[in-house]
Amino acid sequence: MTYPKVGIIYLNFPTKNWERDIDRAMRSFEKLNYPKDKVELILVEPEKTEPRIKDWFFKNWMFKSGTSLPNLHYVFNSGDDIGFSANNNVGLAKARELGCEYVHLTNEDTEVDPDYLIRAVETAESNPKIAIVQSLILLGQDRDQINTAGNAYHFLGFGYSDGYKQPVSGFHFQNEIGYASGAAALVRLSALEGEKLFDEKFFMYHEDTDLSLRLRSRGWKIVLEPASIVWHWYEFGKSKNVFYLMERNRLALVLSYYKIWTLVIIAPMACVMDLALIVFSLKNGWFDMKWKQIKEIFDPNFWKWIKARRMVIHAMRTVSDKELLHLAVADIRFQGDSVRNPVLEYIGNPVMRAYWWMVKKLLV
């Protein structure tokens, strides 16, 4: 096999434990089995954050470029948007400049298996209709437990990690998955047709769902490769703003991709879910974030954004909603105790399963 050139996009962001995380990741990149002359390691740092990482990185790692490490490229995102979406788009632009055929998105707080890249690329090259290959992401804290074996997509726009905290031994892996986690995913650049990876207005949360839905709507496949292993030191977001972004972005997904008929037939359950989320947010102390999202519905700029997205998405899509949503699930299984709810588990999920069973028969 002739191996294609791959750009690994790695975001250097000043998180609480960035020195530890970057050291661990770089040590694992030194062990890569993929041909080093076919790898470009693209490091993106937002220019408008503190502390600055570049000087520390150059002192500790940059001198290893092209020797124990692949060729390193340090790029600054000088824009105002420092979210996950914008930073990865900066990395993508550099990968295109370097002539890469694929990019692999690899989170800062990860450690990679030496064969993670070679296995993901082999899977992508085995089928020209595969657009994204997600690596099997295991928990760094519990290395034999799953972080995500491919993310599940709920028909109301929610997303969650499939297999979370389950033992990897004996787990039944699916080939095609609901959507690929942006924490560790290989993307075929030709599938993007010159577009960016992510819609930067998403900032973070559901931007990877959006990418997977965009490509699936054009007939591409999104798959998991269990032999491509990445360990992730995962923690569910602590900031309340997480809930605002998750709620706004899931609504944007549904309104952007679904045809009018689909929106009509899911509307009753969507309304019930939104009422339940208002109650849930009041009980758990993040109603201000839910209210912020509700107010945005009345902002003309929100609808201009949705209209512009719909025009592009529906002009380029090649599959029906029935095909687009054939992997969508009805259960919601959240990670983190702060969003678990027995009412959802024992009443909400069974009701949604029954509702989705009926609605799927009406999709066109």
CB distance 92 to 191 below 8 Å: no
Buried/exposed 67-91: b ≥16 CB within 10 Å, e otherwise: eebbbbbbbbbeeebbbbbbbbbbb
The whole-angstrom distance between residue 362's C-alpha and the CA centroid of its chain comes to: 29
Q: Is 115 exposed, middle or buried (0-12, 13-18, 19+ CB in 10 A)?
A: middle
Which of these, 332, 337, 338, 330, lies nearest to 356 by C-alpha position? 330
CA-to-CA separations, 265 to 224, 279, 359, in angstroms, rounded: 31, 24, 7
Dist. CA 291–CA 284, nearest whole Å: 14
Cβ partners under 8 Å of residue 304, min gap 6 = none
- Read off the amino acid at residue 4: P
Dist. CA 332–CA 290, nearest whole Å: 18
Running along the chain, 364 residues long, what does each successive block of 10 average in pLDDT? 94 91 97 96 91 94 97 91 89 98 96 98 98 97 94 95 93 96 97 95 92 98 98 76 92 98 98 94 92 95 97 97 97 66 81 96 95
What pLDDT score does 340 carry? 62
Classified as helix, coil or strand, 315 is helix
Q: Per this entry, what is the length of the chain?
A: 364
CB distance 253 to 354 below 8 Å: no
Dist. CA 27–CA 194, nearest whole Å: 33
CB distance 134 to 177 below 8 Å: yes
Beta-ladder partners of 161:
151
Q: Enumerate the H helices of 285-348 as residue ranges.
A: 287-296, 300-316, 321-324, 342-343
- Phi first, then psi: what are they for 312, rounded to 5°? -70, -45
What pLDDT score does 230 carry? 98
In words, the CATH class of domain 6-232 is alpha beta
Q: Is 277 exposed, middle or buried (0-12, 13-18, 19+ CB in 10 A)?
A: middle
Dist. CA 26–CA 289, nearest whole Å: 37
Dist. CA 172–CA 334, nearest whole Å: 20
Token output for 104: 């692999």
User: Could you state, in order of their start, the residue ranges of all structural domains in the chain?
Assistant: 6-232, 241-360
Token output for 338: 């702060």
What pLDDT score does 16 carry? 87
Dist. CA 207–CA 284, nearest whole Å: 25
- Read off the amino acid at residue 296: E
CB distance 298 to 359 below 8 Å: no
CB distance 137 to 148 below 8 Å: yes
- What is the model's pTM? 0.94
What pLDDT score does 358 carry? 95
What pLDDT score does 205 carry? 87
For residue 65, how many other CB atoms are within 10 A of its CB? 15
Cβ partners under 8 Å of residue 151, min gap 6 = 134, 159, 160, 161, 162, 177, 178, 179, 180, 181, 208, 209
- Read off the amino acid at residue 119: R
- Tokens 């032999």, located at residue: 227
What pLDDT score does 361 carry? 95
Cβ partners under 8 Å of residue 145, min gap 6 = 138, 139, 165, 166, 167, 168
- Read off the amino acid at residue 88: N
